[in-house]
Amino acid sequence: MSGECRLIRLECTRPTCSHLPRLYLTRVGVHSPDSLWCNGAYVVTMTVFSLSTFRRVGPMDLPTAYFSSMPGGLAPMTIAGEEAGGDSQLIPIAHVIRIFCVVSFVPIYLALVPGVELTPVSLTLSEVFVLPPWKDWFIWGLCALVGFFGARAIRMPFGEILGPMTLCATVYIFEVVTVTLPPFVTIAAQIVIGTSIGTQFAQLRGRYVLRTVITSMGTTIVMLAGALMVAELMAPLLGMDPLSLLLALVPGGLVEMGLIAVALDADTAFISAMHTWRIILIAVSAPLLFGLVGRRLS
């Protein structure tokens, strides 16, 4: 494996947010505007389809269907949906089913159709507990506190999430901070979020959940088929590898799709950038749009 590929493998095993501006500009290059529009159009189309399906087939109330239909952002959509008056039990179920279907079906498709052999990549103990300089800890803490209380002060919709996220993204974009959060911090955060979401499933009835599970599986299958169709049609126009564009479009997790991209020797930086763009687009625009329009409709 070349030195460049080894570097990509190492970066893909950790959160890639701090490397996004440099990697995106150097690796995506002239394809970035068209790729962003393509990804954005895919997200909007799949969201409209899923929203309509959840409302009619679910059936769900508007806040629950709206935040369940987003092709990304399990934790922020669950929190934002609960604040908007949605069902805090059904929203995470819809997103968990989406993630489960993506991480299950995509490797099977890649193994059976292109015949790709996928190998797992793991973190070592020293990589999990790496400690950045104290200056970076101070900036992260400042972003969290100022973003949280500042967003509350100006009454930003869903500011508890958007405030810290916006400030943190800003310091990374301007390279005030250039290192990633230690993996043990992100792992701990995922455990806390996962546990808090899991407690919402208490006293659920099987029949109450079954329709949501089936509906979520159906919408996810349509999302995967749509991503495959868009990748096959748009890749020649964008001058890209169809598999790289497919992995950039499917509504799975950044880490999972990144690991598959490493195994394929695909454009890992491009795929990471596209998934980060999708998550940011959803996490920022979805709560704001519902705060402006959705509350009136519901």
Average model confidence (pLDDT) for the chain?
77
Reported confidence tier of residue 75, pLDDT bands at 50, 70, 90: confident
More confident residue, 7 or 83: 83
For the segment 7-54, what is each residue's pLDDT rounded down to a tens digit? 333 333 334 444 444 444 444 443 557 788 888 899 999 999 999 999
Torsion of CA 289, 293, 295, 296, to 10 degrees: 180
Mean pLDDT over 45-69 rounds to 91
- Average pLDDT for residues 282-292, to the nearest whole number? 85
- The confidence score (pLDDT) of residue 146 equals 93
Span 151-160, pLDDT tens digits: 888 877 667 7
**CA–CA distance, 53 with 59 (Å, rounded to integer):** 8
Average pLDDT over residues 212-224: 93
3-state secondary structure 40-78: HHHHHHHHHHHHHHHHHCCCCCHHHHHHHCCCCCHHHHH
Cα separation, 16 vs 205, in Å, equals: 39
Cβ atoms within 10 Å, residue 287: 28
- In whole angstroms, give the CA distance from residue 165 to residue 9: 26
The mean per-residue pLDDT over the stretch 118-131 comes to 61
Amino acid identity, position 176: V
* Range name among 43-47, 135-139, 176-180 with the lowest pLDDT average: 176-180
Which long-range contacts does 96-100 make (Cβ < 8 Å, 24+ apart)?
97/212, 97/213, 97/216, 97/217, 97/220, 98/71, 98/216, 98/219, 98/220, 98/223, 98/251, 99/74, 99/252, 99/253
As a dihedral over the C-alpha atoms of residue 237, residue 27, residue 34, residue 106, rounded to 10 degrees, the angle is: 70
Using the predicted structure, report yes or no on whether residue 5 has a pLDDT greater than 70: no
More confident residue, 225 or 29: 225
Assess whether pLDDT exceeds 60 at residue 166: yes
What is the number of alpha carbons within 13 Å of residue 35 lying toward its C-beta? 30
Of 76 and 125, more confident: 76
Q: Which residue has the higher pLDDT, 97 or 181?
A: 97
Angle subtended at Cα 47 by Cα 201 and Cα 148, rounded to the nearest 5 degrees: 65
Average pLDDT over residues 246-265: 76
Q: Say which residue, 266 or 95, is predicted with more confidence.
A: 95
Mean pLDDT for the stretch of residues 125-134: 71
